[in-house]
Amino acid sequence: MKRRDFIQKSTAATVLAGVGGLSLQSFSPSKTKKITILHTNDVHSHIDPFGPEDGRNANKGGVARRATLVETIRRDNPNTLLLDAGDIFQGTPYFNYYGGELEFKLMSMLKYDVATIGNHDFDNGIDGLFAQIPHADFEFVSANYDFSNTVMDTHVKPYKIITKDGIKIGIFGLGIKLEGLVGKDMYKETVYNDPIGKAQDMSRILKEEESCDLVICLSHLGYEYKNNPNKVSDITLARATKDIDLIIGGHTHTFLPKPTIEKNSIDKNVLVNQVGCFGLYLGKVDFYFEHGKDVTADGVSIIV
Amino acid sequence: MSIKHILKLCLLLLIFSCASSKISKIEGKRLDIDESIKTDQAIDDFIKPYRLHLNKDMDSVISYAPETYSKSDGKLNTAIGNLMADAVYSEGNIVFNKRTQKNIDFVLLNHGGIRSIISKGNVTTRTAFQVMPFENSVVVAALKGAQINLMMEYLSKAKRAHPLSHQVQLILDKNAAVSSATINGEPIDVNKTYYVATNDYLYDGGDGMTFFHPNEGLYVLDYKIRNILIDNFKKTDTLNPKIDQRFIKLEE
């Protein structure tokens, strides 16, 4: 019986330790928690602000300004994540000269947490992307690109879970069909899988198996294809899936003045957002959490 | 309290504390990044050496333009388009000839691929980046004369100043049908194989250019269009492209 005794005791100690760890959050009575999600997409190597003579975006954008803005928001709420929805590369000579090194180094300095991969991130080939990975202190997610037969194998995960203030946030990535958009010699043996099917798997894993409180999809599928409504997009994705709270999109350079509220497959709200391109804007979505309270979906107030 | 009691209590606590957090409110907004936001000095200092190195290169003068050239300054051929197609011919043929001992017959590019004007004054490396920001490279397709005829049909229907090198003369009648088409002064021979340089985007069917397939072979030169422009401009003290007769439409 001695052995059994020992197991019981050690189990009790472990459980107590566990409860001790949780108690700080779980017993502070009805404390509201706030998670801030900041996001960019299609920055396309726009490191410097546009010049004063630019016809369209004069004096807008710039990484050094984005850094100030992100830092201000983080000071206000340390429980902030910074995400990017792909097409980090290509668009200014910075990319042609340095191959994306500066883009990744700056994103690391701004403390980006997670990014997904856009079609232009293959512009120097998959080897060109791989070569810059050491400069990225953030992680890449893609659930529907299978990189197992490429140099990028193990450098891209389907999803990433980050816990902030006890709130478990699951982030997965989706990429656009490469065939016809990117040369085969560029993406090589990267396999594109159906984004909707993968998104359904991901939301089940993140919500049901991993019990995430917040599920975010980083997508480079494009916002919506009005002339080709059957083409998979963030809007069709939102409608065909469940348990995703926020889809952060890219690719179509869609300037949404505010997030779109769509209904998912079980008629619950899902937010879709995209902030154009070139680092002209920063998207900001704040999620407020009530602990233990059963807030029904309709009870969630969405202010956009 | 026995261990059993403690365990039960812990279990209850765990169940209670595991009740997950629920979203009660969501707020979304878009923040402008503009002059009102202070520059982060540490970030800017980090960028500076990259910027200086790049600007030194980009602003180096490699040629001179006596006029401003735009892709909208001609109907079926433009000075800037002729300049680009002829540059692809001269620089591309050096590489092609060295590798194959053959010569390129002519070049076809696309009007939409001219991404910027060339302004009057100094021509810099930056100019080449503006005119050709994309990474497209030169490929040479071996095409039978029948395919060249399809190309001429395409050009007659497109009615756009798709750049052609000077070896081509394409004349459309007043109804925009092909009146005559010659390569190096010779009519197109359906049995002959022509070596046509273009960019990889068009070869893959971009801009509806389906006539590059089927073909008799493909030669990938691994030479970016932008680098061709830079190399060509460096060799040319003063750019002097002209609108000419290579692609015209008869008015009557």
Interface predicted TM-score (ipTM): 0.88
The answer on pLDDT for B196 being more than 70 is: yes
Q: Is there a contact between B72 and B78 (Cβ–Cβ < 8 Å)?
A: yes
> Which of B26, B41, B60 is the best residue to mutate to test the A interface, defined by the most A CB atoms within 10 Å of its own CB?
B26
Read off the CATH number of the domain in which A123 is found. 3.60.21.10
Quick one: pLDDT at residue B8? 64
- Identify the closest residue of chain B to A97 by CA–CA distance: B54
Quick one: pLDDT at residue A182? 85
**Helix ranges (DSSP H) in chain A:** 2-26, 63-76, 93-98, 101-109, 125-132, 184-187, 195-204, 234-240
Please identify which residue in the block is written with the tokens 């030479």.
Answer: B223
Domains of chain B by range and CATH? 57-249 (3.90.780.10)
Does B187 or B5 have the greater pLDDT score? Answer: B187
Nearest to A12 among B3, B37, B42 (CB): B3
The answer on pLDDT for B2 being more than 60 is: yes
Q: Is there a contact between B225 and B133 (Cβ–Cβ < 8 Å)?
A: no
Q: What is the DSSP letter of A165?
A: T
How many domains is chain A partitioned into structurally? 1
Distance CA A52, CA A58 (A): 5
Chain A residues with CB-CB distance to B27 below 8 A: 285-286, 288, 302-304
Contact call for B21 and A290, based on CB within 8 A: yes
Contact call for A286 and B51, based on CB within 8 A: no
Distance CA A283, CA A260 (A): 12
Distance CA B5, CA B8 (A): 5
Per-residue pLDDT of chain A (304 residues; tens, 9 = 90+): 444 444 444 444 444 444 444 444 444 456 899 999 999 999 999 999 998 878 789 999 999 999 999 999 999 999 999 999 999 999 899 999 999 999 999 999 999 999 999 999 999 999 999 999 999 999 999 999 999 999 999 999 999 999 999 999 999 999 999 987 888 889 999 999 999 999 999 999 999 999 999 999 999 999 999 989 999 999 999 999 999 999 999 999 999 999 999 999 999 999 999 999 999 999 999 999 997 655 554 578 999 8
Helical axes B3-18 vs A2-26, angle rounded to 10°: 30
Position A249 in a domain: yes
- Flag whether the pTM goes above 0.80: no
Contact call for B24 and A304, based on CB within 8 A: no
Quick one: pLDDT at residue A31? 83
Residue B135: which pLDDT band, with cuts at 50, 70 and 90? confident
Q: What is the DSSP letter of A50?
A: P
Position A55 in a domain: yes
Position A20 in a domain: no
Quick one: pLDDT at residue A21? 41
Contact call for B129 and A93, based on CB within 8 A: yes
- Identify the closest residue of chain A to B205 by CA–CA distance: A180
Position A154 in a domain: yes
**Nearest to A142, CA basis, from A175, A118, A112:** A175
Provide φ and ψ at B103, rounded to 5°: -120, 150
- Identify the closest residue of chain A to B17 by CA–CA distance: A26
For residue B12 the two structure tokens come to: 């209850």
Burial of B190: CB neighbours in 10 Å, binned 0-12, 13-18, 19+: exposed
Position A10 in a domain: no
When mean pLDDT is compared across A141-155, B10-24, B90-104, B117-131, the lowest value belongs to: B10-24
Position A81 in a domain: yes
Range of the domain at A232: 34-299
The answer on pLDDT for B19 being more than 80 is: no
Q: Is there a contact between B202 and B109 (Cβ–Cβ < 8 Å)?
A: yes
For residue B164 the two structure tokens come to: 């052609």
The answer on pLDDT for B147 being more than 80 is: yes
> What does pLDDT average to over chain B?
93
Residue B15: which pLDDT band, with cuts at 50, 70 and 90? very low
Q: How many alpha carbons fall within 13 Å on the CB side of residue B116?
A: 14
Position A28 in a domain: no
Provide the β-strand partners of residue A115: A84, A140
Position A210 in a domain: yes
Quick one: pLDDT at residue B235? 97
Nearest to B6 among A12, A275, A280 (CB): A12
Q: Is there a contact between A175 and A116 (Cβ–Cβ < 8 Å)?
A: yes
Chain B residues with CB-CB distance to A69 below 8 A: 31, 33, 37
